[in-house]
Amino acid sequence: MSRGVSMIAVLGMSLMVSGVGFAADQTAQPAVSTTDASAASTTAAVSTPAPAAADQGSTSVPAASDANVAMPAAPVAPAAIPALKPIIITFSGELAAVDAKATPATVTVQDRYGVRKEISLPAEAKISQGGAAKAAADMKVGDKLTVEYTYDVASGKRTAQTITVGESASSKAATQ
């Protein structure tokens, strides 16, 4: 009888080691009760439950040492951020303020929605009115302006390239 119990114990043990298990295998109960000492030690080995992941049918994440997992040899460096180039923007509105004392001089232009932009006015900026060149000192608050400026994305600075002066609201009302 002990030989029959040992064969069952070996077969049960090989099934549990290979990951094949049954719901009844989850409990740690002896399969056969016997009084033989050698059979009892064999039965105790059979009654050890298999790992929970194998019994429940869940998948497990392979270990990093498995041959089928490719681990990067070194950390991957992020891609370099391209240099941000200034962009050219055209903005129209009324001249709200001029600061000739600043270096370089600045003009503040307000559009019809109330958006105000302060734009630096370097010496090389071209100012014109009706096709003729004009000086920055000739501009008056209330003049209609169309400013073409470069916006430096990295620093947030606006630098005028060309300013075209139109008729101001006050001079337009005076002629009518």
Which sequence spans correspond to the domains of the chain? 2-56, 87-175
pLDDT tens readout for residues 120-136: 999 999 999 988 999 88
Residue 143's pLDDT band (boundaries 50, 70, 90)?
very high
pLDDT at 4 over 90: no
Per the listing, tokens 């069952």 go with 8
Q: Residue 20 has which token pair?
A: 């094949």
Distances (CA, A) of 13 to 10, 42, 167: 5, 10, 98
Residue 150's identity, in one-letter code, is T
Residue 136, number of CB atoms within 10 A of its CB: 16
Under CATH, to which class is 87-175 assigned?
A: mainly beta
Q: Are 148 and 90 in contact (CB under 8 A)?
A: yes
Confirm whether pTM is higher than 0.85. no
pLDDT tens readout for residues 15-71: 555 555 544 445 445 555 444 444 444 444 444 555 554 445 555 555 555 556 666
DSSP state of 138: G
